[in-house]
Structure 1
C-alpha cells in the first residue's frame, strides 16, 4: 500500500502470500480484506489452477467494508503477481473518476426547461447525478457542441472539441469522442432514440465508470461543456465537472 505525499510513498501495509493456499483458506487478514472488496464482481473465486479469462466487472469500492483506520488521503494498492515464482504482471489501483459539479442553464424556457438537477455522493469515489427537464415543443433538428476544459488556474480549453448533428448521431454513432461520452450516460437516460425529441428528458442515478473511458486523460480536474441547439439556435447548456486520477497499473 502506498500513500500520496509528494508522489506515492510506501505506507504501513505490506504482505506477501501464497494465493493458491489463500483461496483454500483465507489466512492473511489484509489480503482477506482486499479480496472482500472485489470478490462479488469477479470470477477469481476458486482454488488453483487458474486458466482462461480473468474478469472484474462493475467493481466499485464500498466504504462499509473498510475495517481499517485510514487517514484522509489518496492511496494506491499495488499488487505484483508471480507464477512459478516469476513476475508476470502488476495491478496497481489508483483510479478516481467522479463528478464534482454540475451546472445548467436554459436560454429559451418556451422550448426547454430544467426542473431539478442534483449531485449526490454515495461514497468518497462514487457520485451520482439526477437531472430532469422538459422539451415543450417537438425538436426535429438538434445540434450539440461538446468541449473539454482542464483546470489550470481556471478552466482552459483542452484537446477535445466536437460539433455534431445530434439527430444524425442517434441514427449512427459517427463521432468517436461523442460516442464515448454517450456510452457513459446512455444506461441512465431516456435520451436513447432518434429525433424528434419532446417531453421529459431524464438522467437518473448516473455515475462515471472508468472502464468506459477509452481516452488517455492525465490526472486533473476537467469540465465537459455541452451547448444544445434546436434549429441552429442555442437553447441550453449542460456543464459537468469531474476529477480524474490516473490508473498507475502496468503489465509485463
Structure 2
C-alpha cells in the first residue's frame, strides 16, 4: 500500500508542477528619518517572468546591528500564518562562516544572488535588490499547495522596527 502511494506521488510530480510568480510588493518605512524607499516595484522581464526591485537609501548609518523577522502567510479569507515565522540577528548571521540549513539560510542564499546584502555589517549606503525572479526550484522540496501567499519581512535596528516589506506571490499548478 505504501509503495502504491509513493508511486502515485511520483507520477503526479511528473505530470504536474507548481509555477510561482510575484504579483505585488508593498514597502513601508516605519521610521522615515532612518531611510527612504527610492524604488519598490515589480518589473516584467519577459513572458511570465516578473522581477522584484527594491532600493532603500539609508539616511542614518552605518548600522552594526539588525534584527530580521520573516514570516509566510497564506490567503484564506484574508492572510493567515503559514509554515514560517522566524526572527534572527542579521549581523551575527551574516558574520558566520558556516550556517546550518534553515529558513534563514534558504532566504539569504536566494536574496544574495541579486542584492548587495552579501556581506556582514556595517551597512552604510543603500540596500539594493535588482531583478530578483521567483525561481521554480526555490521551494521544490516543500509541499506547497497552489494558492495566494504573502512573504513578510520586517527589519529593526537598535531594537526599533524600521521597515515592513510584503511580497505577494501566487503558486499555480500546471499540468503537462
TM-score (norm. length: structure 2): 0.83
2:132 aligned with 1:206 = yes
Coordinate RMSD, CA, aligned: 2.2
Aligned equivalents of 1:120 and 1:95: distance in 2? 21
* Post-superposition offset of 1:179: 1.4
For residues 32-81 of structure 1, what are the alpha-carbon distances to aligned partners after superposition, in whole Å with 9 as ceiling and x for unaligned?
A: xxxxxxxxxxxxxxxxxxxxxxxxxxxxxxxxxxxxxxxxxxxxxxxxxx
Higher strand share: 2
The answer to whether the 8 A contact 1:139-1:197 is kept is yes
Tell me the residue number matched to 1:159: 83
Cα distance in 2, alignment partners of residues 141 and 112 from structure 1: 15
In structure 1, the partner of 2:53 is: 130
1:114 aligns with 2:41: no
Q: Return the alpha-carbon distance in structure 2 between the equivalents of residues 211 and 169 of structure 1.
A: 24
Give the alignment partner of residue 101 of structure 1, picking from 12, 21, 24: 24
Tell whether the 8 Å contact from 1:183 to 1:212 is kept in structure 2 after alignment.
Answer: no
Whether 2:142 is the aligned partner of 1:219: answer no
Alpha-carbon distance in structure 2 between the residues aligned to 1:181 and 1:247: 25
Q: Does 1:179 align with 2:105?
A: yes
Partner of 2:3: none
Shift of 1:121: 2.1
Moved over 6 A (4+): none
Paired residue secondary structure (1:197):
coil
Deviation at 1:209, TM superposition (A): 0.5
Q: How far did residue 169 of structure 1 move?
A: 1.3
SS at match of 2:108: helix
Contact 2:70 2:152 (C-alpha < 8 Å) held by counterparts:
yes
Helix, strand or coil at the partner of 2:110: helix
Q: CA offsets per residue over residues 122-155 of structure 1, 9 Å max, x none? A: 3453111111011221111100111110001111
Distance 2:93 2:36 in 1: 23
8 A Cα contact 2:16 2:173, kept in partner: no
Question: What is aligned with 2:168?
Answer: 241
Residues 115 and 132, structure 1, Cα contact 8 Å, conserved in 2:
yes
Does the residue aligned with 1:170 lie in a helix, a strand or coil? helix
Structure possessing the higher relative contact order (Cα contacts under 8 Å, 6 or more residues apart): 2
Quote the Cα distance in structure 1 between the aligned partners of 2:79 and 2:147.
11
| Residues matched between the structures, number | 162
Distance 2:131 2:19 in 1: 18
Deviation at 1:93, TM superposition (A): 4.8
Per-residue deviation, 1:211:
1.1
Partner of 1:169, secondary structure, is helix
Unaligned ranges ≥5, structure 2: 1-10
SS of residue paired to 2:153: strand
